[in-house]
Amino acid sequence: MFDVKSAISMLKGKGYRITPQRVAVLRVLHNNTEHPTAEEIHRKTMKLQSNVSIATVYNVLEMLEKEGFIVVLQTPDGTRRYDPNTELHAHFVCERCNRIFDVELSQNLSKGLLFFVPEDSSEVKQINISFFGICKRCAQQQTS
């Protein structure tokens, strides 16, 4: 998980301009374990910085992913969610409410997985492990 101050100085070092919009998105994502959508990030960012457009949120998210500060998750409903935790871990994805929960993996299993990285591909940049099902909260509600 990045630290806001050091993330800012790293971005500055790479030549990026430090705009209030970028800082606000960084602050929203910092320590965020909710796997928010772009729209949710936009809503929260506007509370810190009223003049932020959704287009800018997408711009900043794309930049943060490119620079390795966040990872992007595709959900079954076709939307994307953003995760500042870039360590190898798994997700449980609720197919009803589309929320995502973190699932910790053991060191052993993580290393075991890397063993299967296909060698004929140049480089594996990311690994995604997802369990799909219905979360506890949705399971308790009637199945309409």
Partner DNA sequence: CTGTCTGCAAACCATTTGCAATCGT
Partner DNA sequence: ACGATTGCAAATGGTTTGCAGACAG
Q: Which residues bind DNA (CB under 7 A)?
A: 12, 15-22, 37-39, 51-56, 58-60, 62, 78-80
What Rg, from alpha-carbon coordinates, does the chain have? 17
The separation between CA 26 and the C-alpha centre of its own chain, rounded to angstroms, equals: 12
Does residue 138 have a known ligand-binding role? yes
Q: Which helix (H) or strand (E) holds 121?
A: none
43-72 footprint of a copy of itself as x/- string (CB under 8 A): -----------------------------x
Return d(Cα 85, Cα 71) in angstroms, integer. 7
Q: Which of 25, 28, 57, 94 binds a copy of itself (CB under 8 A)?
A: 94
Q: How many CA atoms lie within 13 A of 8 on its CB side?
A: 13
To DNA, the closest distance from the beta carbon of 108 in angstroms equals 34
Interacting partner of 135 out of DNA, a copy of itself, none (Cβ under 5 to 8 A depending on kind): a copy of itself
Residue number with CB closer to a copy of itself (9 or 33): 33
Do the Cβ atoms of 55 and 71 come closer than 8 Å? Answer: no
DSSP label at residue 87: S
Choose from DNA, a copy of itself, none: what does 66 bind? Cβ within 5-8 Å by kind.
none
Question: Known binding site for Zn(2+): residues?
Answer: 94, 97, 135, 138
